[in-house]
Chain A
Amino acid sequence: MPAELLKNVRLLDAATGRDDVVDVLLDEGFVRAIAPSLTEIPDDAAVQDCAGWVLGTGLVDLYSHSGEPGNESRETLESLRQAAAAGGFTRVALLPDTKPTLDSIGAIEGIQSQLKGSSSRLQIWGALTQGIEGQQMTELAELAMASIVGCADGKPLAHPRLVQRILEYAQPLQLPIALWCCDRELQGDGVVREGMDAMRLGLPSIPAIAETSALATVLECVAATGTPVHLMRISTARSVAMIAQAKAEGLPVTASTTWMHLLLNTQALSSYDPNLRLDPPLGTPDDQKALVQAIESGVIDAIAIDHAAYTYEEKTVAFAAAPPGAIGLELALSLLWEAFVTTEQWSALTLWQALSIRPLKCLGQEVGAIAPHQPAELTLFNPSEPWTVNQQTLKSKSANTYWLGKNLTGRVVKTWNG
């Protein structure tokens, strides 16, 4: 592959905070040179005028779902990899809720051998409990030795005793642990966040305390054990306040919300679109506001995509009967940029960091600066390119998204995976 010269590109380096317009020369997977105006260019270099485009640190997704193995009609590892690249994500961490679940070294090595050689980095969360059934912990000490990002079930743990024991047992392991705080009994048969819109629409509702009471339990367990925990899928204003307090007290917690919880609230449910059936559900307008502010303030560390593909048949049902989840890898950057950067609510860097180095920090990982001699793990984004979301434009095997058929502005041009 010839060298590539990106001229007049806006460089957003999430690691250093750099944000300026430069020329960037890439070759053989490495950044070769960065300067306001590059003059020494290899003869065969492909030159691209990138005025108005953004070249940023490769995006990182903290957690998403793979259809393969077990549900290949929804998504395969290959379609997921392509979707990730099309959306600007150079690293995606997959939850272990495949069939079979990724709850043992054997299962994890199996999937990793399939991923070998693929350019984009699909990484693995090992399960916290056997079969992700929330009954018995997995062999965490052994899993900690494997090349996984950490352990998470991606499902709520129903038993506080188990949460406490896992955090105790994992203390010496240096193993990132992610928990989703949700009390299934309080959730009941609810499908939307309790409040004015749920009442108007006649949809069974979930009180915010389904999240916050479980969060309180986890925070107490963290306080008692000192084991660091990442709090997944934070969706309520009250949770934000609790996490702010926990962090102020010095508890070793990090937190994430999902891109859709930042973009939408219960008012969007008037459409009864089954693609807005999420778990946890979309928040009220107050929840949404608190989550957006928490990304700005850093109380919530990262934006996760929680990409969950479902087939047309699975999602073409009543709202309340739909399986929760939606695709997002190919949509998140465009929509978040339009909602927060174009409107100047956030700086471009705030968004970019919340989608790259901040999720990596939650995993205890780091990424280098965009600099000469460094591997090119980069995303090139054109914020003004219009496109339409449909089966043809999406790389994902499924199209279960609220934005299907809609016109978006901003699209990833290319990703480099170092």
Chain B
Amino acid sequence: MVTTTWNRRHVLSLEDFSPAEYETVLQTAASFQEVLSRRTKKVPALQGQVITNLFFEPSTRTRSSFELAAKRLSADTLNFAPGTSSMTKGETILDTAKTYLALGTDLMVIRHREAGVPQAIAQEMDRLQTNVGVLNAGDGQHEHPSQALLDLLTICNLLDPKVPQLSLLKGKKVAIVGDILHSRVARSNIWSLTASGAEVHLAGPPTLLPRWFADFVAEAEKTQPDVPRKLMMHWQLEPALRDADFVMTLRLQQERMTQHLLPSLREYHQQFGITGDRLKLCKPDVKVLHPGPVNRGVEISSELMDDPNFSLISQQVTSGVAVRMALLYLMGSGKPGGEA
């Protein structure tokens, strides 16, 4: 295993991740990718530990990915889903977390439809002086750190299949297109990609890309002056795509039309949909990412999504398991029962 320092009990946001931490995740994930290519795709790293998936918001894909990652690390897994719980009987979110704490949980993977819930549970775990780690698997419109880290690994793998490292992204142009406002994936990716030295270009209509995105990223340099960040915003698609190395599109929820944010899906696709034609503005070897699930023909054209020359969508899903193994391993390995 890679020997690196990792002092983080919780992974709640990528806002304050340091370049060294990204490197640690990438290197650890790369070693798990090697494990996953073996015939026996399992290591005893977290044997005896209990990992609980607290998914207050329904999720199949992310939960499956975390569950598989935990199993590949030989941890025992518990799954919580609100439909089968006593949440409706007046139990608070902290009560639920404490129940799983009492069951012996070492790590909690938490998804919630509202921003801030993983952080609230992490604070409660710290207040109770437990050493339970909390991993944010998506909170409202806030962040989805493991998704951004798997995107980072996917991109690095492509640039150098042997040694994924942050410096590969330096100077690359990455366009993030679509409903930035409501996207936790975009927020986490903004932090990771700008920290890598990539030039990040956001594109979307003004209603889905408020001007404040540039402000808070600029503000972050005050607390992390050693991490210069390059972020540009565009209310048109073309300048974002021009000479881009990577294009990340985001899921557009159908309800945005009724919230007066867009006139129609048709116009959205016309203005911001990613098509083969549009990609001609980008570098010839441009690749397209999407966190899924995809609205075919809305944010990305159907044929492009299935075109292995452009689409990295299935690589993203595969990378997800290795990245989640890396995070669980790094968070869990310092604990009793974990492999040091």
Q: Interface on A for B, CB 8 Å cutoff?
A: 188, 194-204, 271-272, 274, 312-313, 316-321
Asked if A318 contacts B219 (CB within 8 A), the reply is: no
Question: Which of B72-80, B135-143, B243-251, B287-295 interfaces with chain A?
Answer: B135-143
Asked if B115 contacts A272 (CB within 8 A), the reply is: yes
Closest approach, in angstroms, between the C-beta of B85 and any C-beta of chain A? 15
Closest approach, in angstroms, between the C-beta of A400 and any C-beta of chain B? 13
Closest approach, in angstroms, between the C-beta of A323 and any C-beta of chain B? 14
Chain B contacts for A200, CB-based, 8 A: 15, 187, 212, 216
Task: Compute how far the CA of A320 lies from the CA of B212 in the bound complex, rounded to whole angstroms.
Answer: 20
Q: Which B residue's beta carbon lies closest to that of A199?
A: B212
Asked if A202 contacts B143 (CB within 8 A), the reply is: yes
Asked if A318 contacts B90 (CB within 8 A), the reply is: no
Going nearest first, the 6 A-B pairs with the smallest beta carbon separation are A272-B116, A202-B142, A318-B114, A202-B141, A200-B216, A316-B92
Asked if A320 contacts B115 (CB within 8 A), the reply is: yes
Task: Compute how far the CA of A346 lies from the CA of B47 in the bound complex, rounded to whole angstroms.
Answer: 60
Contact partner of A202 among B93, B120, B139, B259, CB < 8 A? B139
Task: Compute how far the CA of A272 lies from the CA of B142 in the bound complex, rounded to whole angstroms.
Answer: 11
Closest approach, in angstroms, between the C-beta of B307 and any C-beta of chain A? 32
Chain B contacts for A321, CB-based, 8 A: 114
Q: Interface on B for A, CB 8 Å cutoff?
A: 15, 90, 92-94, 112-117, 119-120, 139-143, 181, 184, 187, 210, 212-213, 215-216, 219, 259
Task: Compute how far the CA of A36 lies from the CA of B93 in the bound complex, rounded to whole angstroms.
Answer: 58
Contact partner of B93 among A197, A199, A204, A317, CB < 8 A? A317
Chain A contacts for B219, CB-based, 8 A: 196
Q: Which B residue's beta carbon lies closest to that of A313?
A: B92
Chain A contacts for B181, CB-based, 8 A: 199
16 A-B pairs whose Cβ atoms sit less than 8 Å apart in the complex: A194-B212, A196-B212, A196-B219, A198-B212, A199-B210, A200-B15, A200-B187, A202-B143, A202-B184, A272-B117, A316-B94, A318-B112, A318-B120, A319-B116, A320-B116, A320-B140
Closest approach, in angstroms, between the C-beta of B262 and any C-beta of chain A? 16
Task: Compute how far the CA of A199 lies from the CA of B94 in the bound complex, rounded to whole angstroms.
Answer: 26
Asked if B119 contacts A272 (CB within 8 A), the reply is: yes
Asked if B140 contacts A203 (CB within 8 A), the reply is: yes
Closest approach, in angstroms, between the C-beta of A179 and any C-beta of chain B? 27
Closest approach, in angstroms, between the C-beta of B145 and any C-beta of chain A? 12
Q: Which B residue's beta carbon lies closest to that of A315?
A: B92
Do A318 and B115 form a contact, CB below 8 Å, given A200-B187, A202-B140? Answer: yes
Q: Which A residue's beta carbon lies closest to that of B180?
A: A199
Chain B contacts for A317, CB-based, 8 A: 92-93
Q: A194-B210, A313-B92, A319-B115 are in contact. List 18 more A-B contacts (CB 8 A).
A: A196-B212, A196-B219, A197-B216, A199-B181, A199-B215, A199-B216, A202-B140, A202-B184, A203-B116, A272-B115, A272-B117, A272-B119, A316-B92, A316-B93, A316-B94, A318-B114, A318-B115, A318-B120
Asked if B141 contacts A203 (CB within 8 A), the reply is: yes
Task: Compute how far the CA of A57 lies from the CA of B283 in the bound complex, rounded to whole angstroms.
Answer: 72
Chain A contacts for B215, CB-based, 8 A: 196, 199
Task: Compute how far the CA of A201 lies from the CA of B216 in the bound complex, rounded to whole angstroms.
Answer: 10
Q: Which A residue's beta carbon lies closest to that of B117?
A: A318
Task: Compute how far the CA of A98 lies from the CA of B1 in the bound complex, rounded to whole angstroms.
Answer: 62
Closest approach, in angstroms, between the C-beta of A163 and any C-beta of chain B? 25
Asked if A318 contacts B93 (CB within 8 A), the reply is: yes
